[in-house]
Each structure stands twice: as structure tokens, then as C-alpha cells.
Amino acid sequence: MIYSLLRPLIFLLDAEAAHRLTVRVLARGPAPRPRPSDARLARHLLGLDFPNPLGLAAGFDKNGEVTDAALGLGFGFVEVGTVTPRPQAGNPRPRVFRLPRNRAVINRLGFNNDGFDVVARRLAARRGRGIVGVNVGPNRDSADRAADYVAGVSRFAAVADYLAVNVSSPNTPGLRDLQASAALSDLLARLARARDAAARRIPILVKIAPDLDAAALAATVETSLSVGIDGMIVANTTVTRDGLTDRDRAGESGGLSGRPLFHRSTVALAKVRRLAGNDLVLVGVGGIDSAATAWDKITAGADLVQVYTGMIYEGPGLARRIVTGLAERLDREGVVSIADVVGREADRWAGLDA
């Protein structure tokens, strides 16, 4: 496997420089053509036909530069962003740190991105097909953060397949306060109205933190259901540092992702699934790095799953390995469709402590 030979060299670079290099290579090379995945992995959700349930999580292709290359790697969908209305530089570097012993990353990028107009134009010019969502957030210095999200609906309705509303990044001061119930119900109601008024209906999913307590999770689900939000993405990075043995970097501020996030984010997902029943589409993300962990996320309650940090450690072949591994698992379990196993372990996961 080539990546295992290249990884020590890539890891000599600062994490953000390595990421920039990867995006450049993917953007220049001919996009690998998506191969059809096993029909048993397909899902029809949000009015869209997902060829398989594995997506590339937000933050990898922040500016929509490599969507077709990512789809060619085997992903069933790609989430671009977070994009803010105006371009912004983000926090001072260094701001991304690897914790190899824990197969984890801490980042405090702070929404560095090209802004709505550049990214929307890039998506409009895409040649490939395949499902692309856009994750939106407010500018750090915005006077009206809710208006920034709402502007994303009209800006991206024609060029994206779904909109993810990021109220859970730990790296924009005060952002996560939008998850408090009064602020959130006001924001989500405005978004749902904007969606219903747009020329083309774009499904809206709200992306939450894995650090919400049971009461906050319940309030978020209730609000999403009552205003008619389409789904939830569970979860963003955590501000906790439990279980880290890689002490060198554990003290860096920012959001922690990768293997140490798997348990916490899966328990939160299962709780949301139990509260929402089948009325919300749920995307499970956090710590997936194999077909086995993707399977566990799905049986805990995820209709769709996403990865980011796992790819840093396992390489670009991970998507294909997960998709193939999920199909093999269906064979072994004698199940005819991946949809049939969604949430079958939700009760057990929801009973565990985070």
C-alpha cells in the first residue's frame, strides 16, 4: 500500500502544509472516475440518490476545489465548507496538530475560506455529477450571524444538493451559543422559511457538537422537528480531551477529532436517533477509520456517515476500503440493504455514558 510508505514523509510537513499539498495534487490530477458501488449500499434520502452512505466530512475541501476528485475516490457525497459570506483568513498558524499515537487531530482553523461567491461559482462550474453539500457559517466579525446563515440558502440553493448549518465549531468565539434553545429555534425557523421561499428547495441539516448534554440534545431535536429541518449531522469536533495519551499536543486549544471522538459522538448520535425516530435524516461523523467503525456508526443510528481524520492516517484508499467492507459485511450478516441495519443498536449505544 503506497500510502503507508508515503505517510512518514507527509508527516514531516506541518499538518496544514500536508493538507494543502494533498488538495493541490487532487486538484491537478485527472479526477478518478467514480466506480459504481454495490446497489445494496444505495440510499434515497433528502430527495437525493446516494450511491453509498459514505461522505467526505466538512473541512477537507473547504473551498470546493476537489469535489470531483473526492467522489472519484469512492465517496458517495462530499460536504464543502465551512464557507462564510465574506472570505476570511482564520486564526494564526500553526493551527492544526496531529496526535499520531491517538490517531487524532486538534484544529483551530477558525473558518479560513474563500467566501460564498467564489465557492458558489466554483460549484456552478463543476463538470462532474455526484452529491455535494455546502456547510455554511457566519463571518467572525459579523454583526448579524443568523443573517449570514440565511444568506447561504439563496446563495447555494441552485448549486448544492444540501446545506449544512454549522453551529458547533469551537473555533469562532460564541458560535456554539447558537445551540441554546431560544437562539436555535429562531435561527432554524428563519432558515426553514428561506428554504421554502427559494426557487429550488435545498434540504437543510444542522451540525451539532458532541458535547451537548441530554437536555440540549432533546431541545435541538424538538426544535428541528417542529420547524421542519431535514436532518442533523452528529457531530463536530469536541472540546474535551479525555483519553489522550499523546500528551505533547493535548494542551493545544481547538476541536479534537479522530479515534478519541468515536465513542462520544456515537453515543450522541444514538441518543438523537432515539429522540427523532425516523423523522430526521441523521449523518454520523466522528472517529470512523475502517469499515467496522462505519458499520458501528450506522447501526447506532446513522443513515449516512462521514470521515475526515481517518483519511489523514489511513490515506486516500480509505473510502474505497470502507465501501467495499460495508458490502462484505452485508453478505456476512445476510442483510439485503444497508437501510435495514440503521439504528438497530441505538438503544444499547444511547444507554452508554459519553
Ligand X SMILES: Cc1cc2nc3c(=O)[nH]c(=O)nc-3n(C[C@H](O)[C@H](O)[C@H](O)COP(=O)(O)O)c2cc1C
Residues in contact with ligand X by the rule CB under 6 A = 57-59, 62, 81-82, 96, 105, 107, 109, 135, 166, 169, 207, 236-237, 257-258, 261, 285-288, 307-310
Closer Cβ to ligand X, 170 or 343, answer by number: 170
Whether 239 contacts 256, CB under 8 Å: yes
Q: Can you read off the three cell numbers belonging to residue 289? A: 477509520
Peptide bond into 94 cis (omega under 30): yes
Which residues, 6 or more positions from 62, have their beta carbon under 8 angstroms from its beta carbon? 80, 81, 82, 83, 112, 113, 114
Rounded CA-CA distance 155/163 in Å is 10
Q: Can you read off the three cell numbers belonging to residue 4? A: 503507508
Of 34, 32, 63, give the one whose Cα is nearest residue 49.
34
Look-up of cell digits 446513522: 302
CB of 30 to ligand X, least distance (A): 26
Whether 108 contacts 173, CB under 8 Å: no
Closer Cβ to ligand X, 177 or 331, answer by number: 177
Q: How many CA atoms lie within 13 A of 177 on its CB side?
A: 5
Rounded CA-CA distance 136/134 in Å is 6
Query: Which segments of 281-339 are extended strands (E)?
Result: 281-285, 304-307
CB of 62 to ligand X, least distance (A): 6
Closer Cβ to ligand X, 34 or 210, answer by number: 210
CB of 194 to ligand X, least distance (A): 20
* Residue 239: count of CB within 10 angstroms of its CB: 15
Which residues are catalytically annotated?
A: 169
CB of 236 to ligand X, least distance (A): 5
Closer Cβ to ligand X, 31 or 294, answer by number: 294
DSSP result, 129-162:
-SEEEEEE---TT-S-HHHHHHHHHHHHTTT-SE
Which residue sits closest to ligand X, CB atoms considered?
Answer: 59
* Burial of 228: CB neighbours in 10 Å, binned 0-12, 13-18, 19+: middle
* DSSP H or E run through 329: helix 318-333
Which residues, 6 or more positions from 353, have their beta carbon under 8 angstroms from its beta carbon? 267
